[in-house]
């Protein structure tokens, strides 16, 4: 009886089977690489948080990462961007450590996505390519930019003296201070108007009480009232800030008086300054003061006719 040997030939795997096997190996290796990148990002974040890279001599953190890892400067910038926002995108970072997301995918999110979108992109990125992620981030609705506020104008005051002795003041104030100024002037003008009506107008008929009455208070009167009120308050707080704080030098031998660093006074000017004034006498010899007298009140004089 003869026996027949049957040979079984081993068939080579088909191209589809080979591709599936290689794809599975690629997926495993990519998952491992993603996990390694996830750990590298954590290390970079810790170095950045504690400022450990400052003593290395590197000009920047991306330069240090490129030096230590051997990656391109652009890839180093992506890794640093993810490290900077690792606390804002914890789900994306966890997916990268688990191997489900790549550094490039999380990098697109970290560099361009808005705050609060971590959960959305952690789910979307697992089924999207880097190109699709970039498109999605570009289409993401952005909040309207806040309108740029114009800088407040600089406060200024200009004074112009005219030939007739009058003076023009030009004041520039920011909006809030201008409103405060207008309200203060209006308040003082209202008070002057109330006083004028009380003193010069019949409350029943509205007609003037006297034939000759002073002009009706206007805005300039309100402004001057505001100045005088502020000046009076300053005098109470600071006595030397009185309305007529004038320094006069008087020569006992020559019987002449002159303003401090000014011209010689006429008799009428001396009489005006001494009218109902508080005088404080300082004694000096050879230009050096050596004593001072008590403050004295001068007599109330009448203006010369």
Q: Are residues 36 and 116 in the same domain?
A: yes
Q: Are residues 196 and 288 in the same domain?
A: no
Q: Look at 285 and 218; give whichever has higher pLDDT.
A: 218
Q: Does some domain include residue 155?
A: no
Beta bridge partners of 210: none
Q: Are residues 21 and 121 in the same domain?
A: yes
For residue 226, the model assigns a pLDDT of 84
d(CA 173, CA 157): 9
Per mean pLDDT, which range of 56-65, 96-105, 122-131, 267-276 is the poorest?
267-276
Residue 150 has pLDDT above 90, yes or no: no
Q: Does some domain include residue 119?
A: yes
For residue 85, the model assigns a pLDDT of 92
Residue 304 has pLDDT above 90, yes or no: no
Q: Are residues 25 and 99 in the same domain?
A: yes
pLDDT tens profile 11-66: 788 888 889 899 999 989 999 999 999 999 999 999 999 888 878 888 899 999 99
Domain carrying residue 200: 176-241
Question: Which residues, at least 6 apart from 125, have a Cβ–Cβ distance to it below 8 Å?
Answer: 92, 95, 101, 105, 106, 109, 133
Q: Does some domain include residue 209?
A: yes
pLDDT-above-70 percentage for the chain: 69
Over residues 63-92, the mean pLDDT reads: 92
Beta bridge partners of 208: 201
For residue 95, the model assigns a pLDDT of 92
The DSSP secondary structure of 258-296, one letter per residue, reads EETTSPBPPHHHHHHHHTT-EEEEEEEETTEEEEEEEEE
Q: Are residues 33 and 107 in the same domain?
A: yes
Q: Look at 33 and 241; give whichever has higher pLDDT.
A: 33
Q: Are residues 21 and 134 in the same domain?
A: yes
Per mean pLDDT, which range of 28-32, 210-214, 301-305 is the poorest?
301-305
Residue 262 has pLDDT above 80, yes or no: no
Residue 305 has pLDDT above 50, yes or no: no
For residue 29, the model assigns a pLDDT of 93
Q: Does some domain include residue 156?
A: no
pLDDT tens profile 177-204: 889 989 998 998 898 888 878 777 666 6
Torsion over CA: 238, 239, 240, 243 (sign): positive
What the block records as the tokens of 242 is: 């009185």
Q: Are residues 256 and 275 in the same domain?
A: yes
Q: What is the dihedral of CA 76, 79, 85, 89, to 10 degrees?
A: 160
pTM greater than the 0.75 cutoff: no
Q: What is the count of structural domains for the chain?
A: 3
Residue 264 has pLDDT above 70, yes or no: no
Q: Are residues 119 and 95 in the same domain?
A: yes
Q: How far is CA 188 from the centre of its chain?
A: 34
Residue 281 vs residues 126, 284, 298: alpha-carbon distances, Å: 93, 10, 12
Q: Look at 140 and 282; give whichever has higher pLDDT.
A: 140
Residue 110 has pLDDT above 50, yes or no: yes
Assign 259 a pLDDT band (cuts: 50, 70, 90): low
Which of 88-102, 248-262, 288-302 has maximum average pLDDT?
A: 88-102
Q: Look at 88 and 204; give whichever has higher pLDDT.
A: 88
Q: Look at 287 and 262; give whichever has higher pLDDT.
A: 287
Among 90, 118, 138, which residue terminates a domain? 138
Residue 292 has pLDDT above 80, yes or no: no
Q: What is the dihedral of CA 59, 65, 67, 68, to 10 degrees?
A: 130
Average pLDDT of the residues of the chain = 80
Q: Does some domain include residue 9?
A: no
Among 223, 241, 259, which residue terminates a domain? 241
Residue 248 has pLDDT above 50, yes or no: yes
């Amino acid at each position: 009886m003869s026996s027949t040997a049957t040979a079984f030939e081993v068939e080579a795997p088909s191209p589809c089977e080979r591709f599936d096997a290689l794809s599975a190996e690629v997926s495993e290796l990519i998952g491992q690489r993603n996990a390694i990148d996830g750990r590298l990002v954590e290390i970079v974040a810790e170095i950045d948080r504690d400022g450990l890279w400052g003593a290395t001599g590197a000009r920047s953190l991306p330069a240090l990462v490129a030096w230590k890892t051997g990656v391109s400067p652009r890839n180093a910038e992506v890794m640093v961007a993810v490290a900077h926002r690792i606390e804002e995108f914890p789900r994306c970072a966890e997916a990268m450590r688990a191997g489900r997301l790549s550094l490039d995918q999380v990098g697109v999110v970290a560099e361009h996505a808005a705050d609060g979108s971590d959960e959305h992109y952690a789910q979307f990125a697992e089924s999207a390519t880097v190109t699709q992620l970039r498109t999605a981030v570009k289409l993401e609705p952005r909040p309207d930019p806040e309108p740029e506020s114009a800088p407040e104008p600089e406060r200024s005051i200009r004074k112009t003296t005219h030939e007739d002795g009058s003076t023009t003041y030009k004041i520039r104030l920011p909006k809030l201070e201008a409103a405060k100024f207008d309200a203060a002037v209006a308040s003082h003008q209202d008070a002057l108007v109330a006083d004028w009506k009380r003193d010069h107008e019949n409350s029943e008929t509205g007609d003037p009480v006297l034939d000759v009455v002073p002009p009706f208070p206007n805005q300039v009167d309100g402004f001057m009232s505001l100045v005088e009120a502020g000046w009076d308050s300053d005098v109470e707080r600071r006595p030397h800030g009185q309305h007529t704080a004038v320094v006069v030098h008087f020569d006992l031998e020559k019987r002449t008086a002159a303003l401090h660093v000014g011209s010689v006074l006429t008799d009428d000017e001396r009489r005006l300054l001494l009218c109902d004034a508080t005088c404080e006498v300082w004694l000096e010899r050879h230009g050096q003061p050596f004593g001072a007298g008590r403050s004295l009140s001068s007599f109330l004089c009448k203006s010369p006719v």
